[in-house]
Amino acid sequence: MTTATLPFPGADTLDARLELEGRRRPREPKTMTAEEAIAGFVRDGDVVAVGGTNHARTPMALLVEILRQRRTGLAMSRPLTCYEAELFIATGMADRVVTSWVGIGHGWGLAQVLREYVETGRIDYQEWSHLGLGLRYRAGAMGVPFLPTYSMLGSDLGRRLQLVEATCPYTGQELTAVPSLNPDVALIHVQRADVYGNAQIDGYELMDGDVARAARRLVISTEELVDTDILRRDPARTVIPGFLVDAVVVQPMGAYPHECYGHYLADEEAFTHYMERVRDHGSEGAREYAAELVAHADHDAFLASVAPERLAALRKDAEGMMPQ
Amino acid sequence: MTTVSTLAEVRPDEVMTIAASRLLEDGKVMFAGIGQPLVAAALARRRQAPNLTVVLEGGMVGIHLLPGELPASTNEMRAAVGAEMLTSATDIFLLAQRGCFDYGFLGVAQVDAYGNVNTSLIGDPDRPKVRLPGPGGANDIISMCNETVIVTNHEPRRFVERVDWITSPGHLTGGDSRQRSGLLHGGPSWVVTDLALLDFEEESRRMRLRALQPGVTVEQVRRATGFELLVADEVSTLDPVTDDEVRLLRRLNGESDD
């Protein structure tokens, strides 16, 4: 395999397949606590694919549980990264970021912790195009080592990533050969799932269908645990089959303070709180914020620390936006 | 017949967004980013292009934007509710690669004489002076949409001879270099700024001044451009923004209820 020389993890799809073939995958209930799921399936040095994008369906309860248990040497992979990655960088748990973009959103300014660590050369920052990372997951999901695309041709992204071009065997056309990525573990938050891990995503799937298929281990958190018969009523909405899933964590408001389509909007007050911390104290502010989060026993305790009317308003606004 | 807006204090960014929105033709499909591109799209849909289909990188097709509630991210409920279709983020870009999208609209941190765009970093790539957010979908948009319009404030620090880093490829080193790199489709067609409308000369593919915003001189544009700017044989003046356009823009931005 020539892929061993590539300067990034992944492109190990053959190995991921052999590992999967060798695994016992019984259809049995996989519900457990976030503490159990993270203890069981997230290891030091993992490439962690974070589901959702930016502040949409971020698996916050699962991520904060990793912070709580502590891991080292993680790579955080997400096409549009929000401040959750900064918590892992600032606490020293992640030393690699694989992404196409980092920020909160329009009007929120630059990601200052990421800036500090990249500008001082303290982390390995891998900048891909959005589709580039999407095709890495898709190749991993398809079980092939690469996919061809026009993305990143002619740019400095491909040059710095040392991507090579593939020649079409039929036309001779040169295209970027995007290497597959089979993350060691993926964390995905969904609207509903059954005990076996069959999971439905409402609204925008983003890259999560591919992420789930590509991942070697998969932990989902769900707003709602439902009977399988509920899923059978609208099976086209099931984007993750249970046989891919290792753990199901039932966690209402599991993406808070980020949003979950149809359930609650993002809590911009929480973003402001984080950004002010970082503005005033730099990466120390991010560590303080992370320390506040992990001081709660679990995500429910964190939610209980937020004014109930504030959470209710976020839910009401999201529900009110849904088409009738 | 257009008239100069009588509204007080029309801002340069408003003039720019309105000029960009006027480029959008009815019945086309546009891949929009957050910020000015999205506002330009919303404006065009309410004026000359009611059948413009607006697509966002979160996988939304045919989005429905409400005045005063423009999203802060392409991946959030405000961007998605009311859309005609939601597909995966990867599949939306593959539609661009298929050739479905007439326009991409991009903002920039830096743009150079050949329309190459930098939104990644300022300074040395190994140890950047400023780390910026990165491409997001911009590299894919300019590589795959049928044409791409760049919308940005016109300042010497943004308009540089060579960008520090090519996040999103324009006409690379000019001539046919874009094609030779394997990018067979699209590329930057127009640059819309608060001072002017510019395109890329057919042979050299260098940026060229085509039209001025009202009240702006060629010399002003030259001074705001950090490289030697080509100037078309005939430089026209863009129609002034109208009261209607400014009112609608402010309503979309949530700045007024008019």
Q: What DSSP string runs through A249-272?
A: EE-TTTTTTSBBTTTB---HHHHH
| Distance (Å, whole) CA B56 – CA B216 | 33
Q: Is the CB of A80 inside 8 Å of chain B's CB atoms? A: yes
B75 touches chain A (CB under 8 A): yes
Q: Looking at residues A90-115, what average pLDDT do you find?
A: 93
Interval A210-223 mean pLDDT: 98
Split at pLDDT 50, 70, 90, the class of B6 is low
Contact list, B169 vs chain A (CB under 8 Å): 153-155
pLDDT of residue B217 exceeding 50? yes
Token representation of residue A158: 């491909």
Residue B1 has pLDDT above 90, yes or no: no
Residue A304 pLDDT exceeds 60: yes
A interface test, pick of B34, B75, B148, B183 with most A CB neighbours within 10 Å: B75
Tell me what the mean pLDDT of segment B235-239 comes to: 98
**What are the distances in angstroms from CA A62 to CA A7, A33, A224, B153?**
28, 10, 15, 41
pLDDT at position B65 is 82
Instruction: Answer yes or no: are the C-beta atoms of A57 and A189 closer than 8 Å.
Output: yes
CA distance B89 to B57: 6
Q: What whole-number percentage of chain A has pLDDT above 70?
A: 97
Name the pLDDT band for A2 (thresholds 50, 70, 90). Answer: very low
B112 touches chain A (CB under 8 A): no
Average pLDDT over residues A292-313: 98
What pLDDT was estimated at residue A25? 82
Mean pLDDT of A300-314: 98
ipTM of the complex: 0.95
Residue A5 has what pLDDT? 40
Distance from C-alpha of A123 to C-alpha of A118, rounded to nearest angstrom? 6
Evaluate if residue A8 carries a pLDDT over 80.
Answer: no
Sorting pLDDT into bands at 50, 70 and 90, what band is A11? low
| Residues B66, B78: Cα–Cα separation, whole Å | 8
pLDDT of residue A12: 87
CB within 8 A of A67, min separation 6: which ones?
Answer: A87, A88, A91, A93, A290, A293, A294
pTM comes to: 0.95
Going through B65-201 in order, the beta strands assigned E by DSSP cover 85-86, 103-106, 110-112, 117-118, 121-124, 127-131, 147-151, 159-160, 188-192, 196-200
pLDDT of B123: 93
Widest Cα–Cα separation across chain A? 62
Q: Is A164 on the interface with B (CB under 8 A)?
A: no
pLDDT value, residue A1: 29
Cα A89 from Cα A121, distance rounded (Å): 12
| Mean pLDDT, residues A246-263 | 98
Q: Do A54 and B140 touch (CB under 8 A)?
A: no
Q: Which of B70, B87, B89, B68 is nearest to B79 (CA)?
A: B70
Give the pLDDT score at A24.
Answer: 83
User: What percentage of chain A exceeds 90 in pLDDT?
Assistant: 92
- Give the pLDDT confidence score for residue B255 in this predicted structure: 86
**pLDDT > 90? residue B7:** no
Q: Do A80 and B185 touch (CB under 8 A)?
A: no
Nearest alpha-carbon partner for A60 in A309, A305, A299? A299
B57 is catalytic: yes
Whether the Cβ atoms of residue A266 and residue A257 lie closer than 8 Å to each other: yes
Residue A7, CA distances (Å) to A162, A164, A183, A214, B165 in order: 8, 12, 15, 19, 20
CA dihedral angle for residue A252, residue A260, residue A112, residue B131, rounded to 10 degrees? 140
Which B residues 170-209 touch A at CB under 8 Å? 172, 177-178, 181-185
Residue A3 pLDDT > 50:
no
**Orientation of helix B243-252 relative to helix B36-46, angle to 10°:** 120
Alpha-carbon gap, residue B120 to B109, rounded angstroms: 8
The answer, yes or no, to whether residue A7 has pLDDT greater than 60, is: no
Tokens matching residue A276: 């002010």
Who among B77, B166, B182 is closest to A261 (CB)? B77
d(CA B7, CA B22): 19
Question: Strand B103-106 to strand B110-112: parallel, antiparallel, or no bridges (unpaired)?
Answer: unpaired
In percent, how much of chain B has pLDDT > 70?
96
Backbone angles phi, psi at B203, to 5 degrees: -85, -60
Indicate the average pLDDT of chain B: 94
Instruction: Check residue A85 and give its pLDDT.
Output: 97
From the candidates B14, B57, B84, B202, give the one annotated as an active-site residue: B57
Mean pLDDT of A50-63: 97
Contact A105 B73 (CB under 8 A): yes
The residue that leads in pLDDT, B69 or B79, is B79
Element (H, E) at A114: helix A112-119
Mean pLDDT of the region B110-139: 95
Q: What is the pLDDT of residue B213?
A: 97
Residue A285 pLDDT > 60 = yes
Q: Does B90 touch chain A (CB under 8 A)?
A: yes
- Name the nearest CA neighbour of A193 among A244, A153, A156, A149: A244
**Cα A271 to Cα A255: distance, rounded to the nearest angstrom:** 13
Higher pLDDT, A285 or A8: A285
